[in-house]
Amino acid sequence: MQKVLYGFSQEAACELGLDLVDLLLLRWFVRFSESGNMVKKEIAGETYYWVNYSGVCDNYPILNVQKTVIYRHFKKMADKGILKRYTLKVNGTYSLYNLDEEYEKLLIEEQVVDDDAV
C-alpha cells in the first residue's frame, strides 16, 4: 500500500473515512491558506479562511462537480474534526475553515534514510 497520498497518510485517511477528493481538497486548503492570498478572518482569537466553493470548482474542473459537492466534502472534514467550520452571515453567507485536532493524524513525519543502512 502506498503510504502517502497528497502528502497525507493513506492509513490515517482510511481510518478517518476520507477519500481521494477529500485529500485533494484538504491539500488545496492547506497550501492556499499558507500562501497568504486567502481571505481570512479572526474569530474568537483564531484565524479562519474563507472557502469559495465555486472558486474551488474553477480550480479543479477535472472533478466535474457542482459547488454543493465541494461543500459536502468540506462539511464532512469538519464533522470528522479535521477542519473547524464557522459560518459568517454578514452581507451574505460565508464558509470559513481552520485546521482542527484530527488533522495532525494525517501528517507524515519525514523519515531520514541512512544510505549506509540500505
pLDDT digits (tens, 9 = 90+) for 86-109: 999 999 999 999 999 999 999 986
Question: How many domains does one find in the chain?
Answer: 1
The answer to pTM > 0.85 is: yes
Query: pLDDT at residue 116 above 70?
Result: no
Which structural domain range is residue 42 located in? 4-105
- Identify which of 80, 79, 83 has the alpha carbon closest to the alpha carbon of residue 96: 83
Domain membership of residue 34 (yes or no) is yes
Query: Mind listing the pLDDT tens digit for each residue in 23-66?
Result: 999 999 999 999 999 999 999 999 999 999 999 999 999 999 99
* Count of beta carbons in the 10 Å neighbourhood of residue 7: 13
* Count of beta carbons in the 10 Å neighbourhood of residue 11: 14
Domain membership of residue 8 (yes or no) is yes
Please report, for the domain that includes residue 29, its CATH number. Answer: 1.10.10
